[in-house]
Every structure is written in structure tokens, then in C-alpha cells.
Amino acid sequence: MKKILFCFGTRPEAIKMAPLIEEGLNRGHDVKVCITGQHRDMIIPFLEFFQIKVDYSLDIMRENQTLSSLTSNLLSKIEIVLKDFQPELVFVQGDTTSTFTCALAAFYQKIDVVHIEAGLRTGDIYSPFPEEGNRRLVTPIAKYLFAPTEESRANLLEEGVTENVVVTGNTSIDTLRKTITKIRSGQLNDSLRERYKDINFKKKIVLVTVHRRENHGQPLIQICNAIKELASSREDIEFVIPVHLNPNVKECIHASLEQFDNVHLYKPLEYIDFSWLMYMSYLIMTDSGGVQEEGPYFEKPILVMRENTERPEGVSEGVSKLIGSDSKLIINEVNKLFDSCEYYSSFSKNKNPYGDGFASEKVFDYLG
């Protein structure tokens, strides 16, 4: 039995840590969970949905906080948790500021760091920002590096990191595997259709998420302009947009898109609702990391509104396409996907490069 502390603070981390926490508990480890508080509203429903019991909760979220204040507040608070529980292993996931800061705090206490979703790289330290920096900084201080794909493992090997590097698949697929049956069986259809009765499901659904810092400002304005143009020119589209709570995103999207009947703006959605909407959609447009992994599971074409991606597997498998944020390019791509069946079906189906849904088991098999 090992003493394990799971540290995380944002929505995607909760979704991807949930199956690991369950697996750790099932195997009889002494598991405790620390929520950094980087996200507040956007994490609480997920903790409830996945029944994650929280042992330590650090209240660090401030409206529109800077990266420096987030990092310094968290670094001093997490030290108290580490000294209290004295874990043998600290699990961190991905590339957020919570991920990096908790790994650094554990390193300062000479506690072994387990990095889940290690080895993702774009090669550009400023894109995504600060995530590419965060994940690169975790690599040398992590003892165990669980890479989701062979490509991410190869990135680590190229950097000279060879010990305790294991390919597992992404735990996001574990989480989907555990919830997909409910969605595919149709048992939720009636209640969800009722909840989203303002959406005209006779039309084709385009599900959109956008939040990356490098898309704030002009790129986001361009993305909104493209959606505006498509919403007014196409009768056959219903845009569904759960809006991220970051004020830089929320204000811009509401100001430009609120007036369209066929653009449905929502607060961040619960996991099961969002997964169902992925399942119901014709097309997904996103700059999210997690959604790039989940979309292929639902066999939906994904337009990635970024200049580069640390998830190139989807692009090489032909399930996703990098299109950036230029309005004209976005409009052209969407029109093509709606008007050409041939183009739509050129996006591959049945290809999910991100794992078989048993990553958490592989992690604990390795750790023993």
C-alpha cells in the first residue's frame, strides 16, 4: 500500500484524474485528493459527478488572476498539504499551472512525482501558453512519466528521458469508456432533449469550445466573426457553445453571438451533457486539448482552431484538421464539410489514437 496524493485544480484534470483515483482506491492504496482551487465553478460539478472525495481544498481562484499570483499562492499552500500527509507519490496530470506548481512543491519536499499525460509537445514554448512550458518543466522533476501515445513517448526519448517512461493511452478515454454506455444506449436521450429543447435537433449541430490564452483577443474575434457569418448565411446549422468562464472568453463570445437564434450559448456543461452533445453533433470546432482526444471516440470531424497541436495523432489519422483562427478559413472549412459529402467522409472514422480506455490500470500495474 502506498500513500498517494492526487493534486489538481481544473476541469480537464478532474475528468482525467477520476479513473486513476478510482483505480488507486480499488487497489487498496492510501489515497488522498487535494484540489488546488485554480477552478471553482468549473470543477465542483465534476467532483460530484465522479464522486471524488476531497481531503484538502485550497481556495486560490481569484477573478482573472495572473499566472504569477496563481503560481506563488499555490506553491506556498501546497507545501502545507504535503507536510501534513507526507505522501510517497504525488500525481499530477497534464500541463496546467496547478500541474507544474504541485510538481515543483513535491520536488522541493523530495517526494516522487507521477506525471500523467507526459511527453506532449508542440515544439513552440509560447503555444499553447503557458501549457507547453508547464509540461516541459514537469518532465525533469517527475520520476514516473506516463505517456498517452507512442508519439509522446518518442518526444521524451528525444529529450534524453528514458527511465520510467510508459505508454498507457490517455485516461480521458477511460472516463469516456465508463460513461459512454449510458449515452449510446439512448437512455438519457429524452431527458437531455428536454433540457436542451431550445436546440433544433432537426438541423445539424456544430459544437464549439474555445478558451486557450493564445486565442484571446484578435483570434477569438475572428472565430466569433466566422460563427456570425455562418449563423446568418446557413439555415441548416445550429451552433452549440458552452462558454468557458474565463472573462476574456465569456465577454467576447456573449458580445458577438448573443443575438442569433441558431447560436446557443451555455454556461460550462456537465460532463455527461457535453459528451452527449458531442455524440449528437455533426461537427466539432475546438481549441481544447481534451476535446481533441474525445471527438474521435464519437467519430466526429474536428476542426482545431489553433496554429499547432500537441496532439498530432488525430491529424495524422485524419480525424482532425488544424485550421487556425482566420475567419475566412473557418468559414470555408465549415461550408465544405456541410456541402461536400465526399469531404465530410474523408475525415476518418473508427480511428481513436488516444487509448483503449484502460490507461489507469496500466499506470497502477507499473507502479505496483
Q: Which residues bind ligand UDP (CB under 6 A)?
A: 11-12, 15, 172, 209, 211, 242, 268-269, 271, 274, 288-291, 294
131 is catalytic: yes
Which of 212, 300 has the CB closer to ligand UD1? 212
Which of 81, 241 has the CB closer to ligand UDP? 241
Residues 95-134 that bind ligand UD1 (CB under 6 A): 96-97, 130-131
29 is catalytic: no
209 binds, among ligand UD1, ligand UDP, none (CB under 5 to 8 A by kind): ligand UDP
CB burial of residue 8 (10 Å; 0-12, 13-18, 19+) = buried
User: Quick count: other Cβ atoms within 10 Å of Cβ 273?
Assistant: 17
Interface residue with ligand UD1, options 5, 6, 8, 10 (CB under 6 A): 10
- Is the peptide bond preceding residue 130 cis, with omega within 30 degrees of 0? yes
- Is the peptide bond preceding residue 128 cis, with omega within 30 degrees of 0? yes
* Total residue length of the chain: 368
115 is catalytic: no
Which of 168, 209 has the CB closer to ligand UDP? 209
Interface residue with ligand UD1, options 64, 68, 185, 350 (CB under 6 A): 64
Residue with cell 507519490: 89
Q: How far apart are CA 30 and CA 20, in angstroms?
A: 13
Return the percent helix, strand and coil in the chain, to nearest 5.
50, 15, 35
* Minimum distance from residue 108 beta carbon to ligand UDP (Å): 25
* Minimum distance from residue 17 beta carbon to ligand UD1 (Å): 13
Residue with cell 429543447: 197
Site for ligand UD1 contains 228 (CB under 6 A): no
User: Quick count: other Cβ atoms within 10 Å of Cβ 315?
Assistant: 17
- For 33, 90, 179, 271, the CA distances from 194, given in Å and listed in that order, are 35, 42, 20, 17
Say whether 53 sits in a helix, a strand or coil: coil
211 is catalytic: yes
Interface residue with ligand UD1, options 15, 18, 42, 161 (CB under 6 A): 42
121 is catalytic: no
Contacts of 279 (CB under 8 A, 6+ apart): 183, 184, 298
Q: Which stretch binds ligand UD1 (CB under 6 A): 4-12, 104-112, 191-199, 275-283?
A: 4-12
184 is catalytic: no
Residue with cell 507544474: 100
25 binds, among ligand UDP, ligand UD1, none (CB under 5 to 8 A by kind): none
Binding site for ligand UD1 (CB under 6 A): 10-12, 38-42, 61, 63-65, 67, 70, 96-97, 130-131, 211, 245-247
Question: Which positions are catalytic?
Answer: 95, 117, 131, 211, 213, 244
